Amino acid sequence: MNGIRASWRISPSRPGAMCGDWIDVARLADGRLAVSMGDAAGHGDQAAALALVLRRLLRERLLGGADPGQALGGALAEVAELGDMGEMYATAFVAVAAADGTVTYANAGHPAPIVLRSRGPWDRGRTAPGHHGAGRSLGPTGPLLSDLFAGAAIWSNRTLRLAPGESLFLYTDGLTEARNSAGVEFGPDRLVDAGWRQTGSSTPGRGRGPSAVSGVLERMFAEVAAFTQRASDDRSALVLACVPEVDDHDGDRALGDSGRLGDTIRRGAAAEQCGVG
């Protein structure tokens, strides 16, 4: 049985501080998995407030049957109706995933998520993924969320199919733009390399369950932290993996062919980890 498993992590720039990143995962009525990730520009209360509102509005629209592009347009229109956004804006990636690995998505100016494949025997000895570890990247399908575009239906949907063993890796720029003492950015290549090495670190035929999915995030965050020593921006990432079998495990949530998924999928995880209640 194939299934979709989601694992995610948010780390605010200051422990316990409010942040502008959000991640939300929810089950739709038909059993598919709805995911949104975003980054509201800036820091502090204003960015956190925008993130919370967008997260809630996107969830409402996805649960109501909107596709990702419609959810983005509808959420932005409602935010704009609340008042002038000024210079505030956000990037967002919204997707709906089925148990067979089919993912329909829309990207509002968010850093391009990357399809990672598991390492095979042919990759033994390789230390960098190049085109071997990373598959296609999912660039923008419309502009970022700004009131300049409120009321416009301009976020198109695209579809991909994750094969068993493949993962869709979503992240915010707090990871890739983290700098070391010399001012060098960590960058997407190092981030992908960390995830790719983790996917191949287990015994063949094993390691595709919950511990492997969450292990990808652990390695990525650990390597970014070691590279920079100090966080200057919120850091968030989510791995959406197509796994050959599913089980119940605290900390990850899986959607199998039967549409099984816990009624509550760590609801509010983003807000909880960002200290926004």
Where on the phi/psi map is residue 108: left (φ > 0), alpha (ψ -120 to 50), or beta?
beta
* Domain at 88, CATH number: 3.60.40.10
| 267 located within any domain | no
| 269 located within any domain | no
Domain count, the chain: 1
| 272 located within any domain | no
| 265 located within any domain | no
Q: Could you list the pLDDT tens digit for every one of the 277 residues in the chain? A: 458 889 999 888 777 667 899 999 999 999 999 999 999 987 778 889 999 999 999 999 999 999 999 999 999 999 999 876 778 999 999 999 999 999 999 999 999 999 987 654 434 444 444 444 556 789 999 999 999 999 989 999 999 999 988 889 999 988 888 888 888 888 888 877 776 555 544 433 344 444 556 677 888 888 888 888 666 678 899 999 887 754 444 344 445 433 333 333 333 444 334 433 2
| 270 located within any domain | no
Q: Which CA distances in Å does 202 have to 17, 99, 198, 239?
A: 35, 24, 8, 17
| 257 located within any domain | no
Structural domain harbouring 58 = 3-249
- Sheet architecture: strand order including 3-11: 134-137, 114-116, 167-171, 235-243, 3-11, 253-256
| 145 located within any domain | yes
